[in-house]
Chains A and B, each alone.
Chain A
Amino acid sequence: MEPVQSGRAMMNGAVVNGYHGGCALQEESDEKQPQPHRGDKAACRPKKKKQQQQQQQRQPPEPEPERHRAGCSDGRRTPVTKDPAPSTSRRLQQRRETVKKNRPPFPWFGMDIGGTLVKLVYFEPKDITTEEEQEEVENLRSIRKYLTSNVAYGSTGIRDVHLELKDLTICGRKGNLHFIRFPTQNMPAFIQMGKAKHFSSLHTTLCATGGGAYKFEPDLRTIVNLQLRKLDELDCLIHGTMYIDSIGFNGRAECYYFEHPTDPERCQKKTCALDNPYPLLLVNIGSGVSILAVYSKDNYKRVTGTSLGGGTFLGLCCLLTSCSTFEEALEMASRGESTKVDKLVRDIYGGDYDRFGLPGWAVASSFGNMMSKEKREAVNKEDLARATLVTITNNIGSIARMCALNEKINRVVFVGNFLRINTLAMKLLAYALDYWSKGQLKGLFMEHEGYFGAVGALLELVNSV
């Protein structure tokens, strides 16, 4: 599963308290009970104070060195850092900077616990000094190495390597941003692991968003004894989206669209930059769908939402085809023929319904052919999967289009994990938006589809201190 490995690494975390990931206060790590924020009391938030107290109470942690080592075997192969060892003066300078900026201690995670998937982003610092390297607690080091050296964690946890953002500077630190996901159903296991491996000793705050941040909060607090900062998912979504768009995708644009969306021959993906991004309509398609009108980073409203989302697609596909994964469902959909399942305008009118400008190929009734027994017997699973995908996608397109018209916004940005490896859906959305608006509306997509909430949570962590 997922962050499993991170968990494994964290087991050692007992000692973590002393480590502040390059923060100026690291020298104090000798003290058994560091006061990381005392240099900047004014900036302290009450929450943090509480956190410190709790940490103090928790000391001393129980180290479990043996297990760590085993767990970290892969990690050892990872180069520690590209940076040369910094000179003393540089270290001092760094320290001063850190004091000024007051960075949070490593590890830096952002978590988005959705209805179906948990999305985790992890910032891997690459500018770790030798000194830092030496001081980095075993536990933390193993997290880093475990996460960054694996692409799969358990059977369902996955690191989307192709999305990794390299040589990023966040909060004055250089590093890579990793994108990891695992099913929300595994949260209870994650929590058990967190407890067993003493996440609490990591001395960090977990910035989490998504519904699960609320749902699992009591467990995370009481079972794992972890400090949790719950963040609003839509705030995070917007911050994350705008941030990733601004830094780009390893030198390329994060955002793209489909040129000639209504011409399958010529339809192709084109990158673009979201200059002057506002206003935009942000359509987040996760298990369900939220639609936001965004006027600036901090000024937005949730226009509406629909319960017909990715969860509906997968849920219905599972029931109709007995498939069990999103990938499987999409794969079947790619081979199916939805027109056997849906009743088209031409099935009713023999061609276009000119009176109302409805083309013959338009779907008149989704699953409409399935009212007939004969036709039910004539379709296969692939057709059903395809029809489910088309139905859900077109419906989202339709609602998004209406919202765009009502809000007088002509750019619609689609994000969310429903679009992951789902070019079919993206092209359908692009097509529907273009066709029904007669070219007035444009559908835009983002490479990091479903991770913006988690990114937003991470940003909250690093900006909060």
Chain B
Amino acid sequence: MAADRTKAVGAVRTSRSARDGLDKSITLPPDEIFRNLENAKSFAIDIGGSLTKLAYYSTVQHKVAKVRSFDHYGKVPDDEPLYEISVQEEITARLHFVKFENAYIETCLDFIKAHLVNTETKVIKATGGGAHKFKNLIEKKLGLKVDKEDEMTCLIKGCNFVLRNIPHEAFVYVKHAEPEFRFQTTHPDIFPYLLVNIGSGVSIVRVESEDQFERIGGSSIGGGTFWGLGALLTKTKRFDELLQLASKGQHTNVDMLVRDIYGGAYESFGLTGDLIASSFGKSATTDKGFVPEDWRIANVVPLFKKRSGDNPEFTKEDMAKSLLHMISNDIGQLACLYAKLHNLSRVYFGGFFIRGHPVTMHTITYSINYFTKGEVQALFLRHEGYLGAIGAFLKGAEEDNPNQYSWGENYAGSSGLMNSSPDVHPLQRTRSGTFDMLEMDRLERQLVNLPLLLDASSYVPDTVDLTEDAMAREYWLSCFEDALDGVVKRAVASQPQSLDAAERAEKFRQKYRHKLQTLRHQPFAYGSLTVRSLLDTREHCLNEFNFPDPYSKVKQRENDIALKHFQKVVQALESLSMEERQFALVKGLLAGNVFDWGAKAVSDVLETNSAFGFEEAKKRLQARPWLVDAYNDWLERLKGPPHKCALFFVDNSGIDIILGVFPFVRELLSKGTEVILASNSGPALNDVTCSELAIVTERIAAMDSVIRKALEEDKLLLVQSGSSSPCLDLSRLDKGLATVVWERKTDLVIIEGMGRAIHTNYYAALRCESLKLAVIKNAWLAERLGGRIFSVVFKYEMPPK
């Protein structure tokens, strides 16, 4: 198969070279295009004026680590591990989107045909202006019936889908800013909004809900006008080249400005001198006529004879620029008029005129700012080019009801936003974007907001935006690069029986390193760059190469050891006075949190010193007063009435969960507070997963009556968070968790660990009391926060009145 792929791509190269006589081989490795085609089930295609977007749904078979409890009946034989770990094959659903130039369509169809093994599909959903043109070709090549779908309907469906499922989908474009892209957190409430689609013409659509939308207007002055008129005026044929011309031109040579008429500003109406009064107003070659006899006074030379056709005072660049301004301003103005009439403040722009071109994003943004005086922001979409294909696919998959699931962007399989700076030569840019991909993983459960967020619409999970903070970005990128060797080693070690583990791990290394390099140059590639996104990308890449849970054995061993100490720890705590005990519990939580394999400083210690235990960790902790120290407030609170229900987002396996969290939870339970333990749905580093936690809890219950009773009485609940990340996004949590939180009238949220309480959620505002605690196990971060390594953050917050 690999050979076939190479051949197919070779063909692509030939056809392209033949086309424009330039060597433009595809830069992507062949096995990265049309991935999982073997399992592709349904197809959709969106053929635009120059680009084809193919969508297919496939199932991905990959390994998952499962844990299963041995049947001990409460007795623990010393020599046996706590639970059984097995690696199983699991099938998950994934959506693939591939974008390529129309020139490759035939080659791509051949490739698809050759690799399509077990599809039962009979039809392919098609949309876009080119769907008609290529209908016969597709039917002939694929043997599938082409089923055309309305373009606008697909566009809107696609738009709803990305807005709902991709957190940093929308952005504001700010020219010359660092970064140029300001990503918007997607609000749970995406409706209503205005979509301005600038293709050859402009369509303005008001979207009311998933299925309700109306084309409220449009304009014939659009991308086609820029292209067509631009080609006539400048003799430049390609759209990209026209944009490039425009980015170099000086429109004031062609346009009549207010100052050309007024000599300055038109102040009574606030029109500045720079404002364009008349587009192309200076390009009229009107016959200046002759000065009448009686004006020709001896010493006055005729003033005009300005320019003739051969001696233009402006260049084609100037005309292209003027045209771009004219069209962008016009579209912006109409968009504002419609937004105002329909009272909408969210306006998204899409279509080939926009499609990641900084020049057009800038001029549209400028126009919108001007006409709305900054009241409306022009919003653009990272996956704008895919909307039609996504929508067509969703139309075809309606019986599967894909909207009942949540989907997540797979960072390993998606190309990310390209840098399409105008400085990059258009040919080069097209080339780098020859094949662009987006992959979305279907999540088994629906994700929703934590109902306790104070203001879901303004919630931003991440504490530091590395796209904006260049210094932090530099540090973390290097940090992740430095840690890469260790991760690779751990991955190989986790699969001692596997023959190709080393090879796969090496591929993982390359892939992740490549991602890090991309992010160094294009930090905006996947939305705002954050420590969370770096961690998640690493998890996605590990999964990609079948390392579903490199820490499974480590977790197993550590859980095992920690369980043996549980009773001793509990007994020690019981002998303390109330106040002493509270402090010991908190200290235990913090010491437990030291055991984090994600932190290099800790993993180095753990790798070399197997005797490093709970007591050693306690000694490492910063003495009070801590870096952030609200302990006294917390203690005071504990003297008051108990909480109704506490939601606890747990972190690491082993000592952390067993000797730190459980004693703390036990105390809460003894005081009558119900506890919801929320753990990851899937593995991430040595974080405890919900299935591991279930076994651990069962074992603790066997030893401890308080825990056992609480389980029996349904006062201790284990729920999955819906996440497989070392960090925590409170706007994307398992729906079941949200329901329980609501039902139990949760009045305390505890978030533990660097990933969940520092890198994310440090500033999260909740509608109930919250505890955020972590040990800073990174010297750089500690210093940035004004402390040293192993500094303690203990943040106790009351909701605002």
Chain A interface (Cβ < 8 Å from any Cβ of B): 1, 4-5, 7-8, 71, 114-116, 153-157, 183, 185-186, 188-190, 192-193, 196, 210-212, 214-218, 232, 234, 286-288, 302, 304-312, 314-316, 318-320, 322-326, 341-343, 348, 355-356, 358, 362-371, 373, 376, 384, 391, 394-395, 398-399, 402-403, 405-406
Contacts and interface: CB of A to CB of B under 8 A. Distances in A.
B286 to A, nearest CB: 5
Contacts of A232: 268
Contact of B283 (A8, A319, A376): A319
* CB-based closest 6 A-B pairs: A154-B292, A370-B228, A211-B261, A311-B278, A315-B280, A311-B281
B290 A311 contact: no
Contact of B337 (A5, A188, A399): A399
A154 B290 CA distance: 7
A214 B224 contact: no
Given A115-B261, A192-B297, A355-B152, A307 B276 contact: yes
A1 B268 CA distance: 31
Interface in B568-587: none
A307 B255 contact: yes
Contacts of A319: 233, 280, 283, 285, 319
Contacts of A1: 289, 291-292, 295
Interface range, B side: 35 or more
A200 to B, nearest CB: 15
A115 B281 contact: yes
Interface in B192-207: 199-201, 203
B221 interface: yes
A365 B224 contact: yes
B405 interface: no
Contacts of A190: 295
Contacts of B319: 319
Q: Which of A114, A234, A305 has the most CB of B within 10 A?
A: A305
Nearest to A314: B284
Given A325-B286, A355-B152, A365 B278 contact: no
A309 B219 CA distance: 16
A154 to B, nearest CB: 3
Interface stretch (B300-308, B409-417, B478-486): B300-308
B334 A399 contact: yes
B233 A320 contact: yes
16 contacts: A4-B292, A7-B294, A154-B295, A193-B294, A212-B262, A288-B276, A302-B269, A311-B279, A325-B286, A343-B200, A364-B200, A370-B227, A370-B229, A376-B231, A391-B225, A403-B337
Contact of A186 (B284, B289, B294, B334): B289
Contacts of A322: 285, 309
Nearest to A155: B289
Contacts of B780: none
B283 A315 contact: yes
Interface stretch (B57-65, B325-333, B790-798): B325-333
B221 A287 contact: no
Nearest to A402: B337
Contact of A116 (B281, B303, B340): B281
A214 B262 contact: yes
B104 interface: no
Contacts of A155: 289-290, 292
B733 to A, nearest CB: 38
A233 B67 CA distance: 81
B494 to A, nearest CB: 54
Given A154-B290, A215-B261, A356-B215, A367 B229 contact: yes
Contacts of B698: none
B284 to A, nearest CB: 4
A436 B260 CA distance: 35
B289 A153 contact: no
B18 interface: no
A163 to B, nearest CB: 21
Interface of B: 49, 129, 150, 152-153, 199-201, 203, 215, 217, 219-225, 227-229, 231-233, 237, 254-256, 258, 260-264, 266, 268-269, 271, 275-295, 297, 300, 302-304, 306, 309, 319, 326, 329-330, 333-334, 337-338, 340-341, 371
A316 B280 contact: yes
A276 to B, nearest CB: 25
Contacts of B281: 115-116, 287-288, 307, 309, 311-312, 315
A388 to B, nearest CB: 9
Given A365-B201, A366-B221, 10 more contacts: A5-B294, A114-B261, A189-B303, A287-B277, A365-B220, A365-B228, A366-B228, A368-B201, A370-B231, A373-B237
A314 to B, nearest CB: 4
Nearest to A348: B129
Nearest to B237: A373
B771 to A, nearest CB: 51
Given A324-B285, A324-B286, A304 B371 contact: yes
Contacts of B153: 355
B374 to A, nearest CB: 16
A382 B452 CA distance: 67
A325 B228 CA distance: 24
A88 to B, nearest CB: 39
B150 A355 contact: yes
A7 B221 CA distance: 44
Nearest to A355: B150
B267 to A, nearest CB: 9
Contact of B228 (A183, A188, A304, A371): A371
Contact of B278 (A189, A287, A364): A287
Contacts of B288: 156, 183, 185-186
Contact of A8 (B254, B261, B294): B294
B300 A196 contact: yes
B330 to A, nearest CB: 6
Contacts of B269: 234, 302
A399 B300 contact: no
A302 B289 CA distance: 35
A316 to B, nearest CB: 5
A395 B330 contact: yes
Q: Which of A5, A210, A356 has the most CB of B within 10 A?
A: A356
A373 B287 CA distance: 31
A158 B655 CA distance: 96
Contacts of A371: 49, 200, 224, 227-228, 231
Contacts of B268: 232, 234
A270 B306 CA distance: 43
Contacts of A366: 201, 220-222, 224-225, 228-229
Given A7-B294, A211-B258, A215-B261, A154 B289 contact: yes
Given A343-B201, A370-B231, A406-B340, A356 B292 contact: no
Contacts of A399: 333-334, 337
A212 B277 CA distance: 13
Contacts of A214: 262-264, 266
Given A5-B294, A192-B300, A391-B221, A308 B326 contact: yes
Given A115-B256, A155-B289, A371-B231, A312 B201 contact: no
A405 B341 contact: yes
A192 B294 CA distance: 11
Q: Which of A185, A212, A341, A371 has the most CB of B within 10 A?
A: A371
Contacts of A314: 284, 286
Contacts of B203: 356
Nearest to B329: A307
A156 B288 CA distance: 8
Nearest to B203: A356
A193 B297 contact: yes
A211 B225 contact: no
B300 A311 contact: no
B262 A189 contact: no
A325 B287 contact: yes
A384 B232 CA distance: 10
B132 to A, nearest CB: 8
